Copies of this chain bind each other. A is one copy, B any other.
């Protein structure tokens, strides 16, 4: 029997000049955009494409809550990992967690969680189709086994 691989997405990205501010570090709202990169990559690893999820299943993950603790500044041209996990799935609510780590020195720059409500294109709460529920629960379970 093989142990399940932990469902963690670790997309890498490089800090753009446009993302820095006059203090010489990344402006804090850009981390929130990077979390989207992590989330979408986690979905991809779970076998789904968020673009199709919206188009084919009219399923949209509307953000209802964001919490982020900034630990250390990110600098221009830093290569970063956005370590992303699916933490909870309860009905139409999903919660993801994130750690932003600099590749060069493995320093943890930020920790965060985002909570999302599954809605249709009219922003009405909707039910997550079964195929996502089972895949997402598996993703959470795999992590819990660790």
Which of A20-28, A83-91, A125-133 is the interface stretch?
Answer: A20-28
Docked-complex contact B70 and A68, CB < 8 angstroms: no
Docked-complex contact A21 and B20, CB < 8 angstroms: yes
Docked-complex contact A36 and B22, CB < 8 angstroms: no
Docked-complex contact A68 and B69, CB < 8 angstroms: no
Q: A67-B67, A69-B65, A123-B73 are in contact. Are A17 and B24 (CB under 8 A)?
A: no
Docked-complex contact B22 and A20, CB < 8 angstroms: yes
Docked-complex contact A28 and B77, CB < 8 angstroms: no
Residues of chain B within 8 A of A25, CB atoms compared:
22, 123
Residues of chain B within 8 A of A73, CB atoms compared:
62, 123
A29 interface contact, C-beta 8 A: yes
Complex Cα gap A50–B3 (Å): 44
A138 interface contact, C-beta 8 A: no
- Extra 13 A-B pairs, beta carbons < 8 Å, given A20-B22, A40-B77, A51-B75: A22-B22, A28-B32, A29-B30, A29-B32, A51-B76, A62-B70, A64-B70, A65-B67, A65-B68, A66-B66, A66-B68, A67-B67, A67-B68
